[in-house]
């Protein structure tokens, strides 16, 4: 109790009473940023980063509820490593039952916060206990913990766990009662943003599953991969250009989600063409090309950044740097008869479209598909080098090779 009062007292002395209002408006600004994020991965990373910044916590993690189990999905720890670790593919991380025996389980079961001054001094009479295995395997010492339920309405969709509140000298202290209040509010907003991002992803995957039924080449895994590659290539390109980091992150988030929808227009192409084995006739190929225009049409009258970008990518992902792509210049994409125009020049194409064009071709070549074997990696990379400045924008090709490690990681993560 003694120590609890210290952090409160310190805050009040530092901020002379006006602190609550300032903190609340700061908190409001932080959570508004979260709500504008579309992509689940980036959002998880930002929830942890912002919560830790705001409550000055050394480490933190997120658990997500899936199939009635708690999955330990994201972790940050300034003392142990830089940035975030995504644990969703780590097969050593077993999901936990949602019951009172663990801290996260208790929080999820009751939808209530837990403020633990020292994880090693939890009284024996409470139902939950602290699992020391992470500390034992890493040498880290967990002391104070703040567990907040991520609840969307009645439903708990996860748990936000903050570890080791730091004082001005980076010493560890318990979380204060004020931290509980701010953390609780933050967690509510974060849960709202997370549920929305999960719904966006589900909706996109469902839409693409519909397209997949029509065209077996467009699988959910392909869509996830193209989104991931596009985000990475864009970020490398933007970094090479020295763009502002925050701007890069925002744009990267949008591109990842919008690129997943690149072939959504295929839902409008007839089965006889989509499922035709063997080569297309010229006439069939001309119809096939219309999936670009059909895709863009789906976003008619949209005004959000995400929809506008998705429409742009759907329309232009088969354009080429040398102007030999399709659908080319079109007077009115909503006209009844679509006439494909002369190919657009590189200058007419957004960076998102140029990036997605490379991501899509790379994935098509390197994956095994029903009608063809995968090319070897060397052969694919050679082709990309050869097409630098022809099919593909040279700057985009350079960015692709700069970030090839993360592209490989994305490919491993989303396998068929
Ligand atoms: Fe396409
Ligand atoms: Fe594709």
Q: pLDDT of 17-73, one tens digit each?
A: 567 788 888 888 888 889 889 888 889 999 999 999 999 999 999 999 998 999 999
pLDDT higher than threshold 90 for residue 151? yes
pLDDT of residue 56: 95
Q: Identify which ligand lies nearest to the alpha carbon of 288.
A: 1
* Residues 186, 161: Cα–Cα separation, whole Å: 12
Lowest mean pLDDT among 82-91, 100-109, 139-148, 339-348: 82-91
Nearest of 120, 225, 210, 208 to residue 164 by alpha carbon: 120
Q: Mean pLDDT throughout 97-121?
A: 96
DSSP reduced 3-state for 88: coil
CA of 330 to the centre of ligand 1 (A): 17
DSSP letter assigned to residue 172: E
pLDDT of residue 214: 73
CA of 222 to the centre of ligand 2 (A): 7
**Site of tokens 């991520």:** 150
pLDDT of residue 59: 96
Structure tokens of 215? Answer: 């065209």
- Positions of CATH 1.10.3210.10 in the chain: 215-413
CA of 206 to the centre of ligand 1 (A): 18
| 47: Cα within 13 Å, side-chain hemisphere | 38
pLDDT of residue 4: 44
* Residues 159, 340: Cα–Cα separation, whole Å: 51
Long-range CB pairs of 237-240, under 8 A, 24+ apart, other chains included: 237/351, 237/355, 237/395, 237/396, 237/398, 237/399, 238/351, 240/395, 240/398, 240/399, 240/402
Query: What average pLDDT does the structure give for the chain?
Result: 89
pLDDT of residue 150: 97
CB 56 within 8 A of CB 166: yes
Q: Identify which ligand lies nearest to the alpha carbon of 363.
A: 2
Catalytic residues: 266
Nearest of 150, 142, 147 to residue 128 by alpha carbon: 147
Lowest mean pLDDT among 46-55, 187-196, 253-262, 370-379: 370-379
pLDDT of residue 8: 56
Nearest of 198, 241, 205 to residue 226 by alpha carbon: 205
* Residues 71, 117: Cα–Cα separation, whole Å: 24
CB 59 within 8 A of CB 79: yes
Nearest of 411, 377, 384 to residue 399 by alpha carbon: 384
CB 339 within 8 A of CB 330: yes
CATH superfamily of the 215-413 domain: Hypothetical protein af1432 (1.10.3210.10)
pLDDT of residue 20: 77
DSSP letter assigned to residue 345: P
pLDDT of residue 1: 38
Q: Do the bridges between strand 172-173 and strand 155-166 make them parallel or antiparallel, or are there none, so unpaired? A: antiparallel
* Residues 416, 406: Cα–Cα separation, whole Å: 18
**Site of tokens 């090693």:** 120
pLDDT of residue 54: 93
Predicted confidence band of residue 267 (pLDDT cuts 50, 70, 90): confident
* Residues 269, 92: Cα–Cα separation, whole Å: 44
pLDDT of residue 2: 40
pLDDT higher than threshold 90 for residue 255? yes
Nearest of 38, 412, 35, 81 to residue 202 by alpha carbon: 38
- Positions of CATH 3.30.450.40 in the chain: 2-195
Structure tokens of 247? Answer: 């701007």
pLDDT higher than threshold 90 for residue 373? no
pTM over 0.85: no
CA of 53 to the centre of ligand 1 (A): 41
pLDDT higher than threshold 80 for residue 89? no
CA of 268 to the centre of ligand 1 (A): 12
Q: What is the pLDDT of residues 162-209, one digit of tens each?
A: 999 999 999 999 999 999 999 999 999 999 999 999 888 888 888 877
What is Dmax (Cα atoms) for the chain? 81
pLDDT of residue 132: 93
Structure tokens of 132? Answer: 């020391």
CATH number of 2-195: 3.30.450.40
Q: Identify which ligand lies nearest to the alpha carbon of 259.
A: 2
Return residues with CB closer than 5 A to ligand 1 (ion).
263
Q: Mean pLDDT throughout 300-328?
A: 92
Predicted confidence band of residue 9 (pLDDT cuts 50, 70, 90): low
Q: Do the bridges between strand 114-116 and strand 96-97 make them parallel or antiparallel, or are there none, so unpaired? A: unpaired
Hey, which of 26-30, 210-214, 229-233, 363-367 has the most confident mean pLDDT? 229-233
């Amino acid at each position: 109790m003694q120590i609890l009062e210290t952090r409160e007292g310190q805050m009040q002395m530092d901020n002379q009473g006006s602190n609550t209002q300032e903190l609340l408006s700061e908190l409001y600004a932080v959570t508004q940023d979260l709500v504008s994020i579309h992509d689940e991965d980036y959002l998880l990373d930002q929830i942890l980063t912002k919560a830790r910044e705001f409550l000055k916590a050394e480490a933190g993690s997120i658990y997500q509820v899936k199939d009635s189990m708690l999955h330990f999905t994201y972790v940050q720890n300034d003392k142990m490593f830089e940035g975030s670790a995504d644990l969703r593919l780590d097969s050593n991380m077993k999901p936990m039952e949602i019951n009172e025996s663990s801290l996260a389980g208790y929080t999820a079961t009751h939808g209530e916060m837990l403020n633990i001054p020292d994880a090693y001094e939890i009284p024996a009479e409470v139902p939950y206990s602290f699992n020391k295995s992470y500390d034992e395997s890493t040498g880290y010492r967990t002391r104070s913990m703040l567990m907040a339920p991520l609840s969307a309405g009645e439903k708990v969709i996860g748990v936000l766990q903050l570890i080791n509140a730091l004082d001005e000298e980076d010493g560890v202290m318990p979380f204060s009662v004020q931290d509980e209040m701010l953390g609780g509010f933050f967690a509510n907003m974060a849960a709202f943003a997370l549920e929305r991002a999960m719904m966006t992803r589900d909706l996109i995957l469902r839409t693409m599953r519909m397209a997949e039924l029509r065209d077996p080449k467009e699988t959910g895994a392909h869509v996830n991969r193209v989104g991931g590659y596009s985000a990475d290539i864009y970020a490398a390109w933007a970094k090479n250009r020295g763009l502002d980091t925050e701007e890069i992150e925002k744009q990267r988030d949008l591109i990842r989600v919008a690129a997943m929808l690149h072939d959504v227009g295929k839902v409008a192409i007839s089965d006889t063409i989509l499922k035709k084995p063997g080569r297309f006739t010229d006439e069939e190929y001309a119809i096939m090309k219309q999936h670009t225009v059909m895709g863009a049409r789906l976003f008619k009258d949209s005004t959000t950044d995400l929809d506008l970008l998705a429409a742009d990518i759907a329309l232009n992902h088969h354009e080429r740097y040398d102007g030999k792509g399709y659908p080319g210049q079109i007077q009115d994409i909503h006209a009844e008869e679509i006439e494909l125009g002369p190919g657009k020049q590189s200058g007419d194409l957004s960076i998102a479209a140029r990036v997605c064009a490379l991501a899509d071709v790379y994935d098509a070549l390197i994956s095994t598909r029903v009608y063809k074997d995968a090319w070897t990696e060397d052969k694919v990379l050679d082709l990309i080098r050869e097409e630098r400045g022809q099919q593909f924008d040279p700057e985009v090709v350079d960015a692709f090779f700069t970030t090839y490690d993360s592209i490989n990681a994305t490919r491993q993560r989303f396998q068929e």
